[in-house]
């Protein structure tokens, strides 16, 4: 019996758990090298600049955005299990490439040739983990939307976020521990563990019964059309992603630049507020609708940026981090529940992919843009601009919803 034919007696949360496990696995692997591959491997071992080291990390988001364009339609045509398998295969390849990159300096000696070869392999590994992320997160969300139905779509989307950020946080900690096992080849144990987890995920997936793709009543939806349909909700998500991306990218530098202690506590509160809101408050989305909750999230993020601007001390940093985590937490599922309603369930894959790309691209672009603002105009201006962009998401969402064919629920079309 397949998922769509099953009669569930358990709660929607318990229905999503078996499938969301794969999202946790892949994001755990994403987190494993985050503290190692840029700063320790690319910068310290290979001797490249901090800018190149930072680009090694951000390249993953570019790979994820590239993957979104393709995987959504594939999921709708072939089913989420088939595309999830590719995600786990890409995860395994990324781990193998990390192992190879780690071994290159030892085999070839540390010279100009080996440095660039190792860097190239490391960069390709980041692209593969980005492709893995796009395949996995979109497949898992689509699969769970089928398991819980439209009445509980916020549950399916919310738990993806919990496992995403929870997996990365735990992965970073484990990766730091693993890197200490071989101090001269720190990336190697991380790559080995990532490879083993990818293989384990592929084996585990074989025990899951696939769900059949829903038949399409018309032509396949193009990615461009999907983007147009979700544009009002994606615009709000992009606006909120500016605030989230700014804090996620620059909080450590902000604390270091001001010689403050307590960075670990700030990141911990940031993550705790994010996860708390996803687990205990996301049910309000189905009760009150996605748009009001999303607008409240954007206002909360804007307030967080104002706190960073006006309260220039560690307490302000802590409060700003907490409000950012709490604000952004519900934004993705709130607007996501609206985005998937713009067409039938047979197009959930491509709609989720089109919606998600707004945050992928925004985080990459905003990190470059905000970094430039900070370098030339200071921290206050950077946080102020981020706050204005957050609150502007409400206006952009309302304006784009007036464009014919944008943001219209299928049953209202």
At 29, the pLDDT band (50, 70, 90 cuts) reads: very high
CA distance 401 to 399: 5
Q: What per-residue confidence (pLDDT) applies to 253?
A: 74
Task: Write the pLDDT tens digit of every residue in 36-91.
Answer: 887 788 888 888 876 677 678 778 888 888 888 888 888 888 889 999 999 999 99
Q: What per-residue confidence (pLDDT) applies to 80?
A: 92
Q: What is the DSSP string of 75-144?
A: HHHH-HHHHHHHHHHHHHHHHHHHHHHHHHHHHH-SSHHHHHHHHHHHHHHHHHHHHHHHHHHHHHHHHH
Average pLDDT, the chain: 86
Task: Write the pLDDT tens digit of every residue in 127-178.
Answer: 999 999 999 998 998 899 888 877 777 788 888 878 887 888 788 888 888 9
At 5, the pLDDT band (50, 70, 90 cuts) reads: very low
CB atoms within 10 A of CB 77: 15
CA distance 167 to 27: 5
Q: CA 359, 251, 318: angle at the middle one, nearest 5? A: 110
- Asked whether the predicted pLDDT for residue 208 surpasses 70, the reply is yes
Cβ distance 200 to 208 under 8 Å? no
Mean pLDDT of 198-215: 90
Percent pLDDT > 90 in the chain is: 35
Q: What is the pTM of this model?
A: 0.80
CA distance 400 to 369: 24
């Amino acid at each position: 019996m397949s998922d769509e034919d099953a009669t569930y007696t358990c709660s929607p949360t318990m229905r999503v758990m078996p499938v969301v496990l794969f999202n946790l696995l892949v994001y755990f692997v994403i987190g494993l090298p985050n503290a190692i591959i840029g700063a320790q491997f690319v910068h310290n071992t290979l001797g490249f600049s901090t800018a190149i080291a930072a680009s090694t990390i951000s390249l993953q988001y570019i790979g994820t955005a590239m993957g979104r364009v393709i995987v959504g339609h594939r999921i709708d045509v072939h089913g989420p299990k088939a595309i999830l398998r590719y995600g786990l295969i890409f995860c395994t390849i990324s781990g193998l490439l990390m192992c190879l990159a780690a071994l290159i300096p030892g085999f070839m000696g540390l010279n100009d040739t080996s440095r660039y070869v190792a860097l190239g392999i490391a960069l390709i590994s980041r692209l593969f983990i980005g492709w893995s992320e796009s395949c996995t997160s979109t497949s898992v969300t689509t699969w769970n939307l089928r398991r819980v139905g439209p009445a509980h779509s916020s549950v399916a989307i919310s738990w993806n976020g919990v496992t995403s950020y929870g997996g990365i946080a735990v992965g970073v900690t484990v990766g730091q521990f693993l890197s200490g096992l071989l101090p001269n080849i720190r990336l190697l144990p991380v790559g080995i563990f990532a490879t083993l987890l990818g293989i384990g995920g592929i084996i585990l997936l074989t025990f899951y019964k696939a769900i059949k793709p829903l038949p399409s009543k018309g032509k396949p939806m193009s990615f461009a059309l999907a983007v147009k349909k979700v544009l009002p909700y994606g615009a709000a998500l992009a606006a909120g992603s500016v605030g989230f991306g700014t804090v996620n990218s620059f909080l450590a530098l902000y604390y270091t630049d001001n010689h403050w202690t307590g960075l670990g506590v700030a990141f911990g509160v940031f993550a705790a507020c994010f996860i708390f809101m996803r687990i205990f408050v996301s049910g309000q989305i189905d009760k009150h609708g996605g748009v009001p909750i999303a607008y409240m999230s954007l206002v909360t993020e804007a307030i967080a940026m104002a706190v960073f601007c006006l309260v220039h001390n560690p307490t302000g940093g802590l409060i700003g981090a907490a409000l950012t985590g709490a604000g952004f937490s519900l934004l993705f599922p709130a607007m996501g529940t609206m985005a998937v309603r713009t067409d039938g369930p047979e197009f959930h894959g491509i709609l989720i992919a089109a919606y998600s790309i707004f945050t992928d691209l925004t985080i990459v672009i905003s990190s470059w843009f905000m970094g430039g603002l900070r370098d030339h105009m200071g921290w206050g201006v950077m946080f102020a601009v981020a706050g204005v962009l957050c609150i502007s998401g409400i206006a952009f969402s309302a304006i784009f919803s007036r464009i014919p064919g944008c943001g219209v629920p299928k049953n209202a079309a």
